[in-house]
Structure 1
Amino acid sequence: MAVRDLTRRCLTVLAATALTAVGTTAVGAPTASAADTTQCTFPSKTPIKSLPWSLRRLRLEQLWQDTKGEGQRVAVIDTGVDNTNSQLTDAVDAAGGKNLLPLKPKKDRYGDATPRGKANGTSDYVGHGTKVAGIIAARPSKDNAFVGIAPKATVIPIKQNDDKGSGNAETLAAAINYAVQKRATVINISQDTEKALPDDNVLKRAVDNALNSDVVVVASAGNDGLGGNVKETYPAAYPGVLAVAASDRNNERAVFSQSGPFVGVAAPGVDMVSTVPKGGLCVDNGTSFSAPYVAGVAALIRAKHKDWTQHRVVTQIEQTAERSIPGRDNHVGWGVVDPVRAMNEEGGPTDRPVAQGGVSKGALPDVPDLPIGETPQQRDERLGTYAVAGGGVLVAVIAGAALVHRDWRRRRPVGWSARRDNVDHPV
């Protein structure tokens, strides 16, 4: 099963495309899309000093009041992670990384050869994996305000693809199995395929192995959503995987973001700032960068709730997402992820997310606790009685005041003026 490449000539990483299937066995290289592309040099020469919008929407001090992701190991299965960027040097487990591509360079039809890099996965000639890693766990810097969602988590760099699409379903499966072996608690996969392999296939078995090993698996939904295109992409659409769509600054689906019944949540994926190889920051777009935003949240939750299963972590993220409707839809799933609520709101469903009937956007019902022996239906009836009684009292007060005012107007002398007599006008 082919997977879309990451852009030819590697310095331009396609934000709005993640790896897409184009064949039957090869995992191809991402191609440029009309959605958006971002020119970026390695190192980046573009100064970005301000806090990115995707972080400004958060109350970071509240998000990190319990943990910053200590002890969590997040596998980034991608084009490698360049740890020469100072914001990633301490974040990357270089000893635990792996390059699953043959180290001998592969020549394309133009005769160009792409170097495969270091055996531990810390070479990234495309920049895609380095950006993904930064969104998850970039350390603070005195040179800019950008920081990862879980800035004390550890990244396991697993190089599985490049700009020529040298990966395939087997290497992707091997990367997932390697992440499990290296004790990853969260796996991020910012690539997708157009068509599903047969039910019994090496990729599906690897995903199931990760889930059965209690690993949270997060995958990008894909970037073929222009024109309302709805289709499943893999591995995002496999049961148990948290598929992430892209949202914009208005918390709406980004125009390129893939839609479908498999989408779990959405996360910022437009104008995403992150780290690039050899230093600096760059801006990019795509569900490739929405997925690591959610993977970082998953790392924070796992650090705070070490006894929670991967399934409960996913349920928490989906249940606390900011919604515009009570349930889910095919565009943003259960809503746009709300990291602060996911970290600080407890007591919700633990098995699967549920609809929030009659709830305004982003709010949970604010109802009193149940007294001992009272059922939810009895509580609702009691609250309804209070509302009706309170409304009746209010109507009576308003009506009485109106009668008093009418009688007063009838009894006052002709030509009387409140201003003339220097007294307050009765209400």
Structure 2
Amino acid sequence: MRDLVNKGARTTSALAVVLATGLSLAPSTASAAEPKYSEQCTFPNGKYPGRPWSLQRVMLDELWTQSRGKDVKVAVIDTGVDVRNPQLKGAVDVKDGRTFKPPGAKGDDGQPLDWGNDSGTTDTVGHGTKVAGIIAARPAEGTGFVGLAPEATIIPVKQNDAEGHGTPDTLAQAIRYAVGAGAGVINISQDTTGARKPSDSLRQAVEDALEKGVVVVASAGNDGTGGNVKKTYPASYDGVLAVAASDRNNERAAFSQSGDFVGVAAPGVDMISTVPGGGHCSDNGTSFSAPYVAGVAALVKAKHPDWTAREVVAQIEQTAERTIAGHDRLVGWGVVDPVRALTEDDRPIESPNPDRGLAGAEAPTPAKFHLGETPAQRDARLGTYVAVGAAVLVAGIGGGAVAIRDARRRRERVRGVA
């Protein structure tokens, strides 16, 4: 059996069924009028009119005062990136794109696969186009969706398709190419079939990329239902920032893979992003959590171009939102916080500190135990005496004044009678 590389996110949408069953996805035809946004994902689709929840949790104006990802190239190794989407047209470096077609791969009809052009800018699946949008989609009228790093540049590297014809060897080739093309960040939203440990070529390619200062971000995988824990590749290689999926409550999404290799979590439920031909669709999976973090990595690298890959990763891990000290196998160091990653950055670190990042409530001071009357009780008693005495004095003075007045009036009436 051939060693395939499957999508990191087996989603709940219609696209997910296509990916899981290995059926080909027939491209949709565009209507004359601009399509309206539909919950059913078709290509093209209408624009998502609001601001997706995954972006509502971020103060984008504050974030972008720190960095917008300018001059950072992010390689998206996936199913290609369709530049017909207006929000991606200016974000994708077409000349640096590349397609890595597995040798001898054939379709169900026995004919060689048609993987489109060599620049990696055809995407009949839509997976890579969604990933790229989460990272670097440009702002556009009529939608609140935008990439986290809207001035970063996408290098489209097509290495897989709907049938999962990509292999660990072609993934290794794609990684090496991305490094040579100047990528500062590499996003890999896929893992090996059955979480099998691949040949050394993939591990070596990842290690070489890290050695050259490239941040490698990978999806943790979506076989976590029922508490399933297992390593996935390339996410579990040392130095790779493995990303789990979180929901609106900052908790692990039910499908998200767990394990000690998980670095951080990021939104991965109902993720809005760009699709081929134009418009947006919603999808689920760690495949879309990884580019969320890759976008943050691009922002950090743009602001701190001299930081090492390890320092960028540690910064993202250190500033993630977490409720316990240390690492958690469900969400790693916590759910990524883009603003904190860009503002709590006074110095680079090599590894996260387990005790930092938590809300440190001051411990209450224990009350002292006293036998008999405490000073506070004595002060309260004396205060009461003073208050009561003052009241009695005032009442006495007032009563005396009334008595004197009445006596004076009686004397005056007696004189008048006389």
Task: Give the TM-score category using the shorter length.
Answer: 0.7 to 0.9
Q: Which amino acid counterpart does residue 56 of structure 1 have in structure 2? A: Q
Q: Per-residue deviation at 1:401?
A: 4.8
Residue 282 (structure 2) aligns with:
283
Q: What is the alpha-carbon distance in structure 2 between the residues aligned to residue 161 and residue 185 of structure 1?
A: 22
Whether the 8 Å CA contact 2:8–2:220 is kept in 1: the answer is: no
Inter-CA distance 7–69: structure 2 relative to 1 (3 Å threshold): closer
Q: Would you say the 8 A contact 2:236–2:242 is kept in 1?
A: yes
Aligned pair 1:143/2:142, yes or no? yes
Could you say what the CA RMSD is over the residues aligned between the two structures, in angstroms?
3.4
How far apart are 1:3 and its partner, in Å?
2.0
Q: Which residue of 2 aligns with 1:122?
A: 121
Q: 1:41 and 2:42 equivalent?
A: yes
Going from structure 1 to structure 2, the CA distance change for 1:155 and 1:29 (only over 3 Å counts) comes to farther
1:143: how far off?
2.0
What is the match of residue 230 of structure 1? Answer: 229
Structure 1's 265 and 40: CA in aligned 2 closer, same or farther, altered over 3 A?
same
Matching residue's letter, 1:240: G
**Residue 132 in structure 1 maps to residue 110 in structure 2:** no
The answer on 1:206 being equivalent to 2:205 is: yes
| Displacement of 1:327 | 1.0
* Residue 397 (structure 1) shift: 8.2
Amino acid across the alignment from 2:327:
R
* Cα distance in 1 for residues equivalent to 2:76 and 2:152: 12
Match of 1:13 in 2: 15
TM-fit CA distance, 1:399: 4.3
Question: What per-residue deviation string (whole Å, max 9, x for no partner) do you get for residues 31-65 of structure 1?
Answer: 9xxxxxx74110014x4211011111111111010
- SS of corresponding position for 2:191: coil
| Offset at residue 145 of structure 1 (A) | 1.1
User: In 2, are the aligned partners of 1:273 and 1:281 still within 8 Å (CA)?
Assistant: yes
Q: Report deviation, 1:271.
A: 0.7
Q: How does 1:331-346 map to 2 (within 5 A)?
A: 331-346=330-345
| 1:283/1:346 CA distance change after superposition, 3 Å | same
The Cα of 1:127 is off from its aligned counterpart by 0.1
Q: Any idea what the Cα deviations from partners look like across 1:149-208, whole Å, max 9, x if unmatched?
A: 00000000000000011110110000100000101000000001233436x611001101
Aligned partners of 1:287, 1:325: CA distance in 2, in Å?
22
Instruction: Quote the residue 2:59 is aligned against.
Output: 59
Tell me the CA shift for residue 101 of structure 1.
1.3
* Structure 1 residues 282 and 86, CA gap change in structure 2 (3 angstroms): same
Q: Residues of 1 paired with 2:304 and 2:340: CA distance?
A: 14
- Structure 1's unaligned 5+ residue stretches are 20-27, 32-37, 367-382, 422-427
In 2, distance between residues paired with 1:53 and 1:96?
32
Whole-angstrom distance in 2 between the partners of 1:289 and 1:18: 15
The residue that corresponds to 2:172 in the other structure is 173
Change (3 A) 1:62 1:4: same
The 8 Å contact of residues 19 and 163 in structure 2, kept in 1 or not, is answered as: no
Greater Cα offset, 189-198 or 123-132: 189-198
Q: Which secondary structure state, in structure 1, belongs to the residue aligned with residue 273 of structure 2? A: strand
Match of 1:403 in 2: 381
Give the fraction of aligned pairs with identical amino acids, expressed as a percent. Answer: 55
User: 1:402 deviation in Å?
Assistant: 2.1
- Other-structure match for 1:197: 197
Partner of 1:75: 75
How far apart in 1 are the matches of 2:375 and 2:121?
74
> How do residues 80-119 of structure 1 correspond to structure 2 at under 5 angstroms?
80-101=80-101, 106-108=106-108, 115-119=114-118
Secondary structure of the structure 1 residue equivalent to 2:190: coil
Q: Deviations over 1:224-282 (max 9, x none)?
A: 01001111000000000000000000000001000000000000000100000000001
Deviation at 1:12, TM superposition (A): 3.4
Q: Deviations over 1:360-393 (max 9, x none)?
A: 4xx4x59xxxxxxxxxxxxxxxx99xx979999x
Contact 1:140 / 1:147 at 8 angstroms: preserved in 2?
Answer: yes
Residues 213 and 309 in structure 2, CA contact (< 8 A), matched pair in contact too: yes
Kept in 2: contact 1:316–1:348 (CA 8 A): no
- Aligned amino acid, residue 324 of structure 2: I
Number of equivalenced pairs: 374
Is 2:75–2:183's contact at 8 Å kept on the other side of the alignment? yes
* Deviation by residue 1:306-346 (Cα, 9 ceiling, x = unmatched): 11001000000000000010111100000000000000102
Whether contact under 8 Å (1:18, 1:223) holds in the other structure is: no
Q: Distance in 2 between matches of 1:159 and 1:289?
A: 17
Q: Secondary structure at the match of 1:107?
A: coil
TM normalised by structure 1 equals 0.79
- State the partner residue of 2:247: 248
**Greater mean alpha carbon deviation, residues 254-263 or residues 94-103:** 94-103
Q: Deviations over 1:103-128 (max 9, x none)?
A: 9983226x798631111000000000
Answering whether residue 159 of structure 2 is matched by residue 160 of structure 1, we say yes
Q: Does the residue aligned with 2:257 lie in a helix, a strand or coil? A: coil
- Paired residue secondary structure (1:50): coil
Q: Structure 2 CA distance, aligned partners of 1:269 and 1:7?
A: 9
Alignment check: 8 A CA contact 1:5 1:30 kept: no
Decide whether the 8 Å contact of 2:314 with 2:351 is kept in 1.
Answer: yes
Q: TM-score, normalised by structure 2?
A: 0.81
Shift of 1:411: 3.8
Q: Distance in 1 between matches of 2:105 and 2:350?
A: 47
Call closer, same or farther: CA 1:59–1:18 in 2, change over 3 Å: farther
Counterpart AA for 2:69: G
Alpha-carbon distance change, 65 to 407 in structure 1, aligned in 2, over 3 angstroms: same
1:65 and 1:206 map into 2 onto residues whose CA distance is 35
CA distance in 1, matches of 2:48, 2:309: 35
- 1:2 is matched with which residue? 4
